[in-house]
Amino acid sequence: MADGDYVLEARGVLKIFGNHIALDNVDFGLRSGEVHALLGENGAGKSTLIKILTGAYQPDGGSVHVDGIEVSLDNPLHAQTFGIGTVYQEVNLLPNRSVAENLFLGHQPRRFGFVDFRRMEADARILLAHYDLHIDPSSELGTHSVAVQQIVAIARAVQLSGKVLILDEPTASLDRNEVERLFDVVRGLKAGGLAIIFITHFLDQVFAIADRVTVLRNGRLIETRPLDALSRTDVVRLMLGKDIAFSGATDVEPSETPDEVLLDFKGYGRKRSVLPFDLTIHKGEVIGVAGLLGSGRTEVARIMFGADPADQGEVTVNGKPTSLRSTSDAIRHGFGFCPEDRKAEGILGDLSVRENIVIALQGKLGWFKALNRDEQLEIAGRFGEAMDIRAASLDMPVKLLSGGNQQKVILSRWLATDPAFLILDEPTRGIDVGAHAEIVRTINRLREDGMAMLVISSELDEVVAYSSRIVVMRDREMVAELRGRNINPGVIVQAIANNTDEAVA
């Protein structure tokens, strides 16, 4: 790996937001004629690294080199002049303008000071032919499929930059055939010597197209390696940070005589969201849910909670057949749900800590049995103390609290409703160590008190530590259920990666 090989290189890049280190001394090198996959779970630092490489962010340390020469990229437009172009997940072109205009916007061929439409369309036709795309350049971009729009976006980016192409989750909204078509284009560009960075959550696609892979985790570089030396399991292990040899099994004793059944899902699922699954949940049981991002973990939670109601299968609560058509149905049956995206779906930012804590209980009580201020303060105070919420006042807006304290507020919100079944989606993501420990302690305490829980987490150590059982999601399907000694990170990683030869019994 001689330095001179790299078209684009980041050396020891450091990026700090506030007191959070987003990228810590990361090296990254890109060669021409390669497809380089950039992998990592949410918050690993992928997008921060991309933004530094395209000039959207300035690094706080380290340097960026183009063709071995150190450069300072002021903004994406500036990066373009060094030959670096980007295509994002959502096509950011103008759907109501023509394909040709989108290709040449900002540098249209001109004649006597006016846009020369005829030449522009002729140029567009030639350009598109390189991509085997035979569409009318004067047609509106928005009338074409997302795949075609992506290819137009790629054509534009390559046309403008021509050295490095960054594809940020370009396949997220494409179907299988469209992905293939896009990959043909990518292979063609690679053969033409372009250097390509490919970001995706789909491992299959990484193995289908990438030459090398770089894995980031928690802002650190874990590994850069040629892909042919790696198995799927290796990649998942790198991403999740679990050594396959590690076998710290759960310390939760599987009770020989399980408590009574609380919930029983049979063939439960929702079209285009989660394939039907069977799951029985007992009182006093924590079901851990493992799987990569986009594997259908959150979707399972939302279906169970009635936020996106199931369209197939049945569920019984305490043995009685029930329908969970809405969140209020679920709440009436004693469900609670702490969503993954705390800011967008969890907290009511401008409202006070007190109001945030009582809101679900008040929702359960209805419009006319209003808790008065004193009752609200009493409830908020009780749970605030039990959860150790650090707030200057219960009347301050919850948005001013730290992430960990916000999570405790949302947990308190549900505990105030005295739930029988609590769904926690990534309850410890992005929160400080103290709050993290507090939440794990709470999960254990609640389980001992007989509450049933479903906990989704990417932190395998953590899931292993508190789960009675673990279900594994892959490609929107519940693929494995692990119990007893099988609850250890190694087995989980294998189940997530699932090579048939490594399959878990």
Partner 1 sequence: MKRLHLERLANPQLLALVAVLLINWLLFPNFFRITWQDGRLFGSVIDVLNRGAPVAILAIGMTAVIATKGVDLSVGAIMAVCGAVAATMVVAGYPTPVAVIAALAVGLACGLWNGFLVAVLDIQPIVATLVLMVAGRGIAQLITEGYIVTFNDPALIFIGTGSFLGFPMAAVIALVLMLLVTLLVRRTAIGLFIQAIGVNRAAASLAGIHSRMLLVLVYALSGFCAAIAGIIVAADIRGADANNSGLWLELDAILAVVIGGTSLLGGKFSIPLAVVGALIIQAMNTGILVSGFPPEFNLIVKAGMIILILMLQSPLVGTVMGFFKRDTRQAAPK
Q: How far is the CB of 332 from partner 1 (least distance, A)?
A: 8
Q: Which stretch binds partner 1 (CB under 8 A): 19-27, 59-67, 351-359, 379-387?
A: 351-359
Contact pick of 337, 383, 421, 466 for partner 1 (by CB under 8 A) = 337
Helix (H) or strand (E) holding 474: strand 469-474
Q: What is the DSSP letter of 448?
A: H
Provide the phi-psi class of 28: left if phi over 0, else alpha when psi is between -120 and 50, else beta: beta
Strand order in the sheet with 69-71: 20-31, 6-17, 61-66, 69-71
Q: How far apart are CA 113 and CA 111, in angstroms?
A: 5
Q: How far is the CB of 325 from partner 1 (least distance, A)?
A: 12
Q: Which stretch binds partner 1 (CB under 8 A): 2-10, 105-113, 262-270, 340-348?
A: 340-348
Q: Which stretch binds partner 1 (CB under 8 A): 214-222, 260-268, 362-370, 385-393?
A: 362-370
| Contact between 368 and partner 1 per CB under 8 A | yes
| Contact between 308 and partner 1 per CB under 8 A | no
Q: How far is the CB of 368 from partner 1 (least distance, A)?
A: 5
Contact pick of 52, 99, 347, 480 for partner 1 (by CB under 8 A) = 347
Angle at 381 between CA 375 and CA 384, to 5 degrees: 140
Q: Which stretch binds partner 1 (CB under 8 A): 123-131, 279-287, 361-369, 466-474?
A: 361-369
Q: Which stretch binds partner 1 (CB under 8 A): 183-191, 237-245, 339-347, 445-453?
A: 339-347
Task: Tell me the HSE value of 397 on the side-chain side, using a 13 A CA sphere.
Answer: 6
- The residue among 276 and 309 lying less far from partner 1, judged by its C-beta, is 309
The backbone torsions φ and ψ at residue 315, rounded to the nearest 5 degrees and listed phi first, read -140, 140
Q: How far is the CB of 376 from partner 1 (least distance, A)?
A: 9
Contact pick of 350, 448, 449, 501 for partner 1 (by CB under 8 A) = 350
| Contact between 374 and partner 1 per CB under 8 A | no
- The residue among 121 and 340 lying less far from partner 1, judged by its C-beta, is 340
Q: Which stretch binds partner 1 (CB under 8 A): 141-149, 337-345, 444-452, 479-487?
A: 337-345
Rg over alpha carbons for the chain, rounded to the nearest Å, is 26
Start-to-end CA span in the chain (Å): 41
Residue from 401, 458, 390, 450 nearest 424 by CA: 458
Q: How far is the CB of 476 from partner 1 (least distance, A)?
A: 21
Q: How far apart are CA 84 and CA 81, in angstroms?
A: 7
Span 141-170, contacts to partner 1 by CB under 8 A: none
Q: What is the DSSP letter of 215?
A: E
What single string gives the DSSP state of each residue in 112-166? TTEE-HHHHHHHHHHHHHHTT----TTSBGGGS-HHHHHHHHHHHHHHHT-SEEE
Which residues, 6 or more positions from 65, have their beta carbon under 8 angstroms from its beta carbon? 6, 8, 9, 10, 11, 71
- The residue among 219 and 306 lying less far from partner 1, judged by its C-beta, is 306
Contact pick of 168, 355, 426, 462 for partner 1 (by CB under 8 A) = 355
| Contact between 366 and partner 1 per CB under 8 A | yes
Q: How far is the CB of 305 from partner 1 (least distance, A)?
A: 8
- The residue among 87 and 358 lying less far from partner 1, judged by its C-beta, is 358
Positions in the binding site for partner 1 (CB under 8 A): 305, 307, 327-328, 331, 337, 339, 344-351, 355, 359-360, 362-371, 413
